[in-house]
Chains A and B, each alone.
Chain A
Amino acid sequence: MSEQADEAVGTKDLEKGMRPSRASAFATIAVNAILLLLLFNSGGLVRWTQQLPSSPVTAWLAERAADWDRLMHVSPPEMFEQLKKRLQPGEP
């Protein structure tokens, strides 16, 4: 019985009384957290690219980050208008 209990929860130090999970749980957590940061903290990405040493690759990265940041600043009504324009059939 004690062996079963040991398997179910942590027994040492900080882990004591905690339940282990599958490692893959962290992948789900990280992906969701990063998506949220990309959506709401696109400015942070721009600031990071500005601190990188200059090279063609980092310049390209900085441009993409700036594009992404601009996209994140489009308001929902504007986004709706742009979507509408794209989806509407062209003038005959």
Chain B
Amino acid sequence: MIFPTLNFLLFYMVVWPTAWGLVLAGRHNLHKLAIIAASYVFYAFWSWKLMLLLLGSVLLNWATGRLIGLAAGRRVLKRLALILGLAVNLSLLGFFKYYSWFSEELNALLVRLEVGRELPLLEIVLPIGISFYTFQGISYVVDLYRGDLDRPRPLIDVMFFISFFPHLVAGPIVRAASFLPQLEKPPDPGRVFVGLGVMLILWGVFKKAVVANWLAVSLVDKAFLDPGAYGTLDLLAATYGYAVQIYCDFSAYSDIAIGVAALLGYRFQRNFNQPYRAESLADFWRRWHMSLSSWLRDYLYIPLGGSRRGRLRTYVNLMLTVALGGIWHGAAWKFVIWGALHGGMLALERIVSRGAAAAARPPWRRALAILFTFHFVCLCWIVFRAESATRALEFLTGLANWTQPAALLSPFLAALIAFGLVIQFTPGDMLERLDRIYQRIPTWAVGVLAGLALLVIDILGGDSSAPFIYFQF
């Protein structure tokens, strides 16, 4: 089941009143159970068999949490419990996500080395959302180990936290220490951020159904499928188009997820903050997929030593963290290269900016920094999007093919790209301003406006649709 569909609307129209009805009836545990059941129904729409894996992941992390709780005061035992939990979590993720790729690559190497033995090739289905729910499980056990969570939580809470349907298949990656305390008492029906929820859902549906879908279907997919058939203008447009598409696609899912959770009375942290206005790559990572980058920072970069163990170690830690962040996206060399490019540039930024005064830069330098960062990110997106390294090279070579006239780029697509870039520079308090307008309009009229917005989106969105990009991760 995916968000901007009638199936989801009907599902939510059952879940929402049931969840609030149980809160109003004072049945907090039943409320949690109802949402857990809804989450498993939501997941079972893809595969009921893989739902068992999700359940297994929940039980594993709950049991690890119990072990950590029981070992309180005994440091070695506590550490052992953590290592065990992490090892099983990462083994599951590694097997389902990377085994096929690893065995193929290793077998190819063994053949080249003329070694007779080969790893068995298995047809493994990638369970949707496994990267997201595994990272959330790890967040639970690590937060407990570190004391960021005061005590192990009951199974019902761990189950709710890991399986909650808004974030289940494509994030945001919710952190145990910030989400689990919300389950201690029922959400307050008199204090729900309805305006925020409705605005985020409508904005997300617009970004996905209109901007991302049109760019994917009419420009990006075609250009990346056969880059040799197109010239500079089309490939340049496809590069910018993909930057806008992936932003509008992924941030749309996050916005809808945050909105859907907000209407049920739960709070997720923001996942995107106008990433293409970043003035450096480090700034970009503070604005792009913030829940993943902060997860990598807190659970990988800092435990590796962060910047506390000398310059060289800092660069190595940076490279390693971002390279692993790259592989997190999928089992393919292109993600390794993408991560290494980002890691390399982050290390280079550190070297260049070392000792530089943090004084405000003049506007022209800031504009240049934004342009440079955006184009570096776009260059990396080519590697990320292309089917293979060869196709990426073909694409890059094609960017210099000035002789070919534009066959894909149209004024409408150019307008969508421009729109996707302009929204990076809107005022930071835009939602707050819109909320003030929302507060002045009668609720029934907000409903009519929301209905009109959905009709406009349906008209502009066209018939074809592209799947959410981050579902494959």
B432 to chain A, nearest CB (A): 4
How many B residues are at the interface, by size bracket? 35 or more
Answer yes or no: A28 CB below 8 A from chain B CBs: yes
Answer yes or no: B33 CB below 8 A from chain A CBs: no
A23 to chain B, nearest CB (A): 4
Q: Which residues of A contact B195 (CB under 8 A)?
A: 18-19, 21
Known: A14-B270, A36-B455. A21 touches B194 (CB 8 A): yes
Q: Contact between B198 and A36 (Cβ–Cβ < 8 Å)?
A: no
Binary interface encoding of chain B residues 430-473 relative to chain A, with 1 for a CB under 8 A from any of its CBs, else 0: 01100100010001101110111011001000000000000000
Report the separation of the CA atoms of residues A90 and B6 in the bound assembly, to the nearest whole angstrom. Answer: 43
Known: A41-B455, A41-B458. A29 touches B446 (CB 8 A): yes
Q: Is the interface of B mostly helix, strand, loop or mixed?
A: helix
Q: Contact between A25 and B443 (Cβ–Cβ < 8 Å)?
A: yes
Q: Tell which of B20, B197, B262, B451 touches A33, judged by Cβ atoms closer than 8 Å.
A: B451
Q: Contact between A21 and B429 (Cβ–Cβ < 8 Å)?
A: no
Answer yes or no: B269 CB below 8 A from chain A CBs: yes
B1 to chain A, nearest CB (A): 13
A72 to chain B, nearest CB (A): 13
Q: Which residues of A contact B258 (CB under 8 A)?
A: 14
Number of interface residues of A (CB under 8 A): 32
Report the separation of the CA atoms of residues A36 and B446 in the bound assembly, to the nearest whole angstrom. Answer: 12
A4 to chain B, nearest CB (A): 14
Report the separation of the CA atoms of residues A23 and B188 in the bound assembly, to the nearest whole angstrom. Answer: 8
Answer yes or no: A74 CB below 8 A from chain B CBs: no
Report the separation of the CA atoms of residues A79 and B455 in the bound assembly, to the nearest whole angstrom. Answer: 23
30 A-B pairs within 8 Å (CB atoms) are namely A13-B267, A13-B270, A14-B196, A14-B200, A14-B269, A14-B431, A16-B432, A18-B196, A18-B432, A19-B435, A20-B191, A23-B20, A23-B189, A23-B190, A24-B189, A25-B192, A25-B446, A26-B198, A29-B450, A30-B16, A30-B447, A31-B447, A32-B451, A33-B451, A33-B454, A34-B451, A36-B447, A37-B454, A41-B458, A48-B6
